[in-house]
Structure 1
Amino acid sequence: MYLKYPTDLPSATATVQGLPPPSTAPTVEKVVPLHPGEFLIKLKEDVDPDIWRHVKWDEDIHGKSSDDKGIYTGLEEVLKYLEKEGYIGSYDDDVLDQMKQHPDTESAEDYLYTWNDTVLGKNELGETIVKDVPLFGNEKVYQEKGGHKEKGKGKGGEESKDEGGKKEKLKKQKEKETQEGQGKEQEHQKQEKYQDDQIEKEKEEKKDEQEEEKEEEEEEEEEEEEEEEEEEEEEEEEEEEEQKKKEEEKEEEDRRAAAKKEQKEEEAIEDMFMSDAEKKARERHRIKEEEWIEWYHWLAVLPLFTCVVS
């Protein structure tokens, strides 16, 4: 049960079975928060069973709050009973609003208790403090000022025979849960560190691959440039050879033309002193010489022609 208003609180003057009734003297009932800004946060039963994940989130948003940390102390105690989990803490309004809106939160309400001022006698119970802890039930704790130093359950009025043992057991259970939670948190941190290391490793590998690809591309570009330069040089050499060949052919033609011209000049001079019979004999010799030259040319290219045909 959650105690939202003073009228929801159980009567602090209720009797406990096996104990004398409290004083009949006038009492003044008060409803006071255990600590200003202290709240009881109950989590839903179907959320992630690791409560420390939620607690870590809670501490993060409290740490980011700009309000006085001396007044709002943050997480104070983690509670667990069967399948129910929750915690007690002191928070400002902004942090509390965020906690209420969290999908894991079932409720977030003031953590209250009631107390009665009574006239104390030898056999009186003394001040009765009633704490409301919805996860564990309402608990009455009787102060040591009265004549009896016994404790009992508020619900049903049943007496607790071994309250000290229960508290010790709960304390050990909380310590165990705290240690387990710390172990889980350490394991979670290890996993996060491992994941971060893997991500960094993948980034480094990817970076190395990119550098290798870049180097390969640069090498390919250099090879292509070298091949292009070699091709250009070969083309230039071929052009130079062709130009040289043309020049040689032209020189040969010029030489032949000059020789022919000189021969004609000599023949013209000879014609002045030769008879017609000598001129005809010379012409026949020239024609025969040209025929021999032509035959010699065909004999030179015939093997080549034979290879091409075969």
Structure 2
Amino acid sequence: MQVDLFDFELPQELIALRPVSPRHAAKMLVARSGNDFDNRSVIDLPSILKPGDVLVFNDTRVIPAQLEGKRGEAKIGATLHKRIDLRRWQAFIRNAKRLKNNDIIEFGGGVSAVAEQRHPDGSFTLKFNGEEPVEILLERAGRMPLPPYIASKRPTDERDRSDYQTIFAEKDGAVAAPTAALHFTPQLLDALDARGVIRETLTLHVGAGTFLPVKVDDTDNHQMHAEWGRIEQVVADRLNKARAAGNRVISVGTTSLRLLESAATKDGIIHSFEGDTSIFITPGYKFRAIDGLMTNFHLPKSTLFMLVSALMGREVMQDVYAHAVAEKYRFYSYGDSSILLP
């Protein structure tokens, strides 16, 4: 499909630079099939769901994956993208033309890395020096990897260390937040429990590739970056049991959705999963594992807008986003929410 089909006009003032407080006070657009839209708030979620519905969350934790350093006098920026092993990460590099294989980048605070290998896409394998765990080195030298549409408008600060982390964050490894879950608070979770809504978790370490623009004209020519994920067998079993009983499985975020769909067979059975996924969902895809999606509002011509268009229909999603713009919903990572129920 032509990428231009997924374009839309977005006023820049609707890009959220901070989350609302409390987080569950964000607006939420409920969209059902047939252009049935309802303006609600995230705190209303329990009344929208049914007892027995299952919400699936991503428990990945964002690491301070953005680094500023020098190779000699040349300034080098690095955004870690995907872990390779205990000391190596694949990283997108700013000013990569000043970097050669085996150059050493000094990031300050006693943190340095060897640029071991340049990849065809221009990224590098970085091997961090020393014996301290890389996570400790990043806490010392790194900063939170805010998306470009926020970082270009304001500097990262200490608030982002907590703002850009979900209440479910447990397993280090993401370089972007699973932002649909940023809206959840203890108060909301208590209300969901009282409603009889079930919670399950999986892990997908979101990579920086989620922010890369689609540079081709046709979706068939776009290559997704791989991300590592895991679904435990007991979680898969409970999800299958819930669907067999007629209850809905609703993914909280496109990251959870992509991993669930990667783990499901054509007959709709979800299996345990551990490894990389580079699934790319566009209109025409037949969903296997989910019955709905809670998600924020995405960029024009992005792979994520293509995904929600596959779930609801491209024309419906164009109407959803036009409605959101007209009603001044806040967009992107720190913005408002939607729940899509096909």
Which protein has the bigger strand share? Answer: 2
* Larger radius of gyration between Structure 1 and Structure 2: 1
Report the TM-score, using the length of structure 2 for normalisation.
Answer: 0.22
Which protein has the bigger helix share? Answer: 1
Report the TM-score, using the length of structure 1 for normalisation.
Answer: 0.24
